[in-house]
Amino acid sequence: MKKPKKKSDVVENVMTVRNVDVFYGSNHAVKDVSLDIRKNQITALIGPSGCGKSTLLRCLNRMNDNIEICKITGEVKYDGQDIYDKNVDVVALRARIGMVFQKPNPFPKSIYDNVAYGPRIHRLAENKQQLDDIVENSLKKAGLFAEVADRLADPGTGLSGGQQQRLCIARAIAVEPEVILMDEPCSALDPIATAVIEELMEDMRLNYSIVIVTHSMQQAARISQRTAFFHMGELVEQGATSKIFTLPKDERTKSYITGRIG
């Protein structure tokens, strides 16, 4: 699915996935997927459960490295480099590609320490004042600062579900990544909290590129600019969101969107 690059093309890819296969032992979970992730856009990965979207997402920041039986072939490029190249340091990689998980997972530390964790280990701040600034800015960008400004020392686990997820987003932002991967970030939240985060994502798009796996077609239609539809480990179709939802090319896409499968 290569677009010819023209000089007038202002849309660029921040990451490209080419011919990626993922095996969990003998299970062929992701089959020959090629995908473009556009810069400063929200790309949604949709499809019925178990079709490999989360697996593919975890390939983008090499989280699958920790799983012994997982084997990956193909090429994932970021910043002109294959991230699976042996010279690439996975620690440095994850400082540039962050992740937010399905169930909010703040550390059992204070709100401040949760957000400060990333900058601390990557030595992004030279003194306490800088660290304070990073924490405050990240919380602001995640839309949480107003609510917690006076209780930064309170435990992160004491917040509500929606607040915890925004805390996790702030934590990911604090490291100043370029790309943020989100694995069904709203599926454990109520509709109001979901709406807050969706609004947040629209703001975040200005500074980051976002890839979101979502179970909800409506959410994908609401917030994303590009959509990729997965089915049984295969990437069936990808393109502009509006086109996918109004004029799908593949029968399976049509069936999913109209609710006949999934």
* Interacting residues toward another protein by CB under 8 A: 61, 63, 66, 68, 78-79, 81, 83, 87-96, 98-99, 101, 103, 105-109, 117-118, 121-124, 168, 171-172, 175-176
- Name the DSSP letter for residue 242: H
Nearer to another protein, 95 or 189 (CB): 95
Phi and psi torsions of 252, nearest 5°? -65, -40
Structural tokens at position 64 = 């699958």
CB of 144 to another protein, least distance (A): 16
* 83: helix, strand or coil: coil
Shortest CB 181 distance to another protein, Å: 8
Decide: residue 28, CB within 10 A, 0-12 exposed, 13-18 middle, 19+ buried: middle
Q: How many CB atoms lie within 10 A of CB 200?
A: 17
Q: How far is the CB of 172 from another protein (least distance, A)?
A: 7
Render 171-208 in DSSP notation, one character per residue. Answer: HHHTT--SEEEEESTTTTS-HHHHHHHHHHHHHHTTT-
Comparing CB distances to another protein, the nearer of 138 and 253 is 138
Q: Judge contact between 143 and 198, C-beta under 8 A.
A: no
Nearer to another protein, 24 or 117 (CB): 117
Amino acid in position 73: T
CA-CA distance, 124 to 57, in Å (whole number)? 26
Q: Which is nearer to another protein, 94 or 231 (CB)?
A: 94
Q: Residue 122 or residue 243: which is nearer to another protein going by CB?
A: 122
Q: What is the CA radius of gyration of the chain?
A: 18
How buried is residue 177: exposed, middle or buried, by Cβ count under 10 Å (0-12/13-18/19+)?
buried
**Which of 61, 209 has the CB closer to another protein?**
61
- For the bound state, the minimum distance from the C-beta of residue 149 to another protein, rounded and expressed in Å, comes to 23
Both tokens of 261, joined, read 């499968």
Distance of closest approach, residue 94 Cβ to another protein, in angstroms: 4
CB of 108 to another protein, least distance (A): 5
